[in-house]
Amino acid sequence: MAFDLDMIKKVYDRYSSRIDAARQATGKPLTLTEKILYAHLTEGNAKAAYQRGVDYVDFAPDRVAMQDATAQMALLQFMQAGRPQVAVPSTVHCDHLIQAKIGAVEDLNTAKDINSEVYDFLSSVSDKYGLGFWKPGAGIIHQVVLENYAFPGGMMIGTDSHTPNAGGLGMIAIGVGGADACDVMAGLPWELKFPKLIGVHLTGKLSGWASAKDVILKVAGILTVKGGTGAIVEYFGEGARSLSATGKGTICNMGAEIGATTSIFGYDEKMAAYLRGTQRADIADLADAVATHLTGDDEVYSSPEQYFDQVIEINLSELEPHVNGPFTPDLAWPISKFATAVRENGWPTALEVGLIGSCTNSSYEDISRAASIAKQATDKGLKTKAEYTVTPGSELVRYTVERDGYLNTFEQIGGVVLANACGPCIGQWSRHTDDPTRKNSIITSFNRNFAKRQDGNPNTHAFVASPEIVTAFAIAGDLTFNPLTDTLTNEAGEQVMLDEPLGIELPIKGFAVEDAGYQAPAEDGSAVEVLVSPTSSRLQLLDPFAAWEGTDIKGLRLLIKAKGKCTTDHISMAGPWLKFRGHLDNISNNMLIGAINYFNNTADSVKNELTGEYGPVPATQRDYKANGIGSIVVGDENYGEGSSREHAAMEPRHLGVRAILVKSFARIHETNLKKQGMLGITFDNVADYDKVQEDDKIDIVGLTEFAPGKQLTVVLHHADGTEDSFPVNHTYNAQQIEWFKAGGALNIIRRQQHA
């Protein structure tokens, strides 16, 4: 970790001069977000950034973090960049590929066995190129990063949309696709559209059942899944300072669900305590010395409406616990209204499973609060009605909460402790159910609840809440129960109430762990061999994508006009498909199989214009590809919401889709498309979406004059001989247009490497 300390010193050394320069240039006080961004501009880039008129700005992040399901593609790309070592400290975390079935020990062993090829690949690439490697069982990327690498005022990118979790320690941490990570690891600048600033002013103090999770559940309700797009959310005020560092992490983590670029809190005593509690007193000392730079200026916080594009006020003293869902994380219900909502909407009232943990909610504080509820079930003679699972976020937390007796408390109410991994959160869940066609409800302390996400079952209604609320519901087994006001009947037939949860922020006896699961890279990795078998079904070396042909693109077929929500889970489903994340051709067999076809309201059934027959999306596209016919995908609002997985961009690219035309994009997905040399365009007039017909032949005109800010034209040739034509927008800057022309950003890096 000594290496980190030097790096952090260097970052802090830059702060004073950078912030002075920025204050002078802009002539105004600065938000924390601006301070961190300005301190991480690449050389020579400052002027443009201060003006804010420019769209894209180049940054030099301090760190890169990758999880196993996205690291494979990121590192396959990095291997082609021709660098001997990564240019900035980087880590790989094995967390997504472990399936929850029986319990921690058995499931981890099974995962090590079936994923050995992928783990060996990741471990040897890490060894060779100088990346830290966190073995399966070590924990979920965002918890491990918070415990080991996040630092106030730093900047990190990570190949996972919940990377913003590190905002809990005052770091600007942003989720990206693997191609972006590859650039930063190769020593190139990382560009980001200069974000809008949303300020959230927290007053008061949490009490009773309300927790940090309820802050973000409420914010999600206010801003919706699109409301944070293009913005960084900065939390401030006495309420912000009263939240534990891990509670702040929960809020920043789930900020991904409102589409925010990231979320952040200023450095304060709670962060210092967490750093000291996790053996990083030296970092806390460094941060204390520059503390004024690690929070927004006083003037900003006293008149926030002058400095933020939008300000939201939340009084923590009045905040009610929330339950969000089903099917979307922004459908927010205060607990007092939830039972009525369940009844009125006819959602299944019987709760079948409660699941706590995940990267969002698995801190020591979370576990202790949930355990305080679980213990009451035993003490008050209540029988837990629903199944109940616990996913610790890291081995450090797991070991410590086991030592302190909490795991035992959960086991006493029938709780099953799963491996320190993503598990059910990402569909790595072999759920036992007697009838998958039955409409059913589950509740989790995770962050996403899109249809089919946890168990692949469209009949499952998934709700999101804090771990303590999930635990109370699991005991009651009934979604119309309100733990704040209602009683339960115990085994003796008495009416009992659950008392408010009690938690401990940091373990009184300190954190402990026997083996945290870290493997340092070789000093000199040049002799390490990385093997990828040509016959592997799990890993495949990448072939460069073809460059643009230099003309307008004409005669495209409509592959699918997707209707409604089309998240990355719809475009490249996770769960059983996670095993192909290192094999582009194999994973392409899941392309868009979850998207609903506008013309028949069915998933994975589109018309093949060559045969006139309806068939699965991937097979139809493979047929077009085999016949040298390009195609286009049309979509609705916030297309590509959710995950950072670039497979959702690479699969269509690989199978010969030429353009994605939608009403609007989610940020990470739009960048991923650009990086892979795909054309991502948006309707100028969203009503033009309605003009697209199933049998259209489609042209994209204006590409020979493709320029920043200049519209392109889409022409629809309908089957009846009529035509429609309309302008479409794009957000490509000059460099991104070069990516498009070269057939992908990596082709340019490769070219430079061989020049």
Chain contacts with ligand MIC (rule: CB under 6 A): 69-70, 96, 160-162, 175, 426, 448, 574, 642-645
Q: Which stretch binds ligand SF4 (CB under 6 A): 211-219, 367-375, 419-427, 694-702?
A: 419-427
Residue closer to ligand SF4 by CB (options 160, 404) is 160
**Which option in ligand SF4, ligand MIC, none does residue 567 bind, with CB closer than 5 to 8 A by kind?**
none
Shortest Å, Cβ 429 to ligand SF4 = 11
Residue closer to ligand SF4 by CB (options 169, 197) is 169
Q: Which strand (E) or helix (H) includes residue 127? A: helix 116-129
Any contact of residue 188 with ligand SF4 (CB under 6 A)?
no
- Binning the chain into helix, strand and coil, the percentages to the nearest 5 are 40, 20, 40
Q: Which listed residue (448, 570, 583, 730) is catalytic?
A: 448
- Are residues 706 and 688 in contact, defined by beta-carbon separation less than 8 angstroms? no
Residue closer to ligand SF4 by CB (options 364, 481) is 364
Joined together, the tokens standing for residue 664 give 């609007």
Q: Which stretch binds ligand SF4 (CB under 6 A): 35-43, 113-121, 420-428, 580-588?
A: 420-428
- Per CB under 6 A, the list member of 359, 401, 474, 591 interacting with ligand SF4 is 359
To the query of whether residue 654 is one of the catalytic residues in this protein, the response is no
Q: Which listed residue (58, 62, 95, 107) is catalytic?
A: 95
- From residue 754, alpha-carbon distances to 528, 542, 749 in Å are 23, 17, 9
Residue closer to ligand SF4 by CB (options 34, 641) is 641
* Bond into 84 cis (ω within 30): no
To the query of whether residue 293 is one of the catalytic residues in this protein, the response is no
Q: How many CA atoms lie within 13 A of 428 on its CB side?
A: 24
* Of 354, 322, 345, residue with least CA distance to 477: 354
Dihedral, CA atoms, 100, 214, 573, 76, nearest 10 degrees?
-80
**Which option in ligand MIC, ligand SF4, none does residue 69 bind, with CB closer than 5 to 8 A by kind?**
ligand MIC
Residue 77 CA to residue 119 CA, distance in Å, equals 17
CA terminus-to-terminus distance, the chain: 36
- Are residues 292 and 259 in contact, defined by beta-carbon separation less than 8 angstroms? no
To the query of whether residue 448 is one of the catalytic residues in this protein, the response is yes
**Which option in ligand MIC, ligand SF4, none does residue 70 bind, with CB closer than 5 to 8 A by kind?**
ligand MIC
Any contact of residue 447 with ligand SF4 (CB under 6 A)?
yes
Shortest Å, Cβ 122 to ligand SF4 = 16
Shortest Å, Cβ 234 to ligand SF4 = 22
**Which option in ligand MIC, ligand SF4, none does residue 224 bind, with CB closer than 5 to 8 A by kind?**
none
Shortest Å, Cβ 146 to ligand SF4 = 12
- Are residues 71 and 113 in contact, defined by beta-carbon separation less than 8 angstroms? no
- Per CB under 6 A, the list member of 150, 286, 294, 422 interacting with ligand SF4 is 422
- Identity of the residue numbered 36: I
**Which option in ligand MIC, ligand SF4, none does residue 658 bind, with CB closer than 5 to 8 A by kind?**
none
To the query of whether residue 14 is one of the catalytic residues in this protein, the response is no
- Identity of the residue numbered 721: G
Residue closer to ligand MIC by CB (options 128, 162) is 162
To the query of whether residue 645 is one of the catalytic residues in this protein, the response is yes
Residue 490 CA to residue 210 CA, distance in Å, equals 25
Q: Which residues in 265-304 contact ligand SF4 (CB under 6 A)?
A: none
- Please, what's the b/e burial string for 481-505 (b: 16 or more CB within 10 A of its CB; e: otherwise)? bbbbeeebeeeeeeebebeebebbb
* Maximum alpha-carbon separation in the chain: 80
Any contact of residue 425 with ligand SF4 (CB under 6 A)?
yes
Residue closer to ligand MIC by CB (options 140, 634) is 140
Residue closer to ligand SF4 by CB (options 175, 501) is 175
> In 10 A of CB 254, how many CB atoms?
30
Q: Which listed residue (441, 445, 631, 643) is catalytic?
A: 643
Q: Which residues in 138-167 contact ligand SF4 (CB under 6 A)?
A: 140, 160, 162
To the query of whether residue 276 is one of the catalytic residues in this protein, the response is no
Residue 76 CA to residue 177 CA, distance in Å, equals 13
- From residue 63, alpha-carbon distances to 145, 165, 174 in Å are 10, 14, 11
Ranges of H-type helices in 488-610: 568-571, 584-587
Total of residues contacting ligand SF4 (CB under 6 A)? 11
For the annotated catalytic residues, the residue numbers are 95-96, 160, 448, 643, 645
Residues that bind ligand SF4 (CB under 6 A): 96, 140, 160, 162, 358-359, 422, 425-426, 446-447
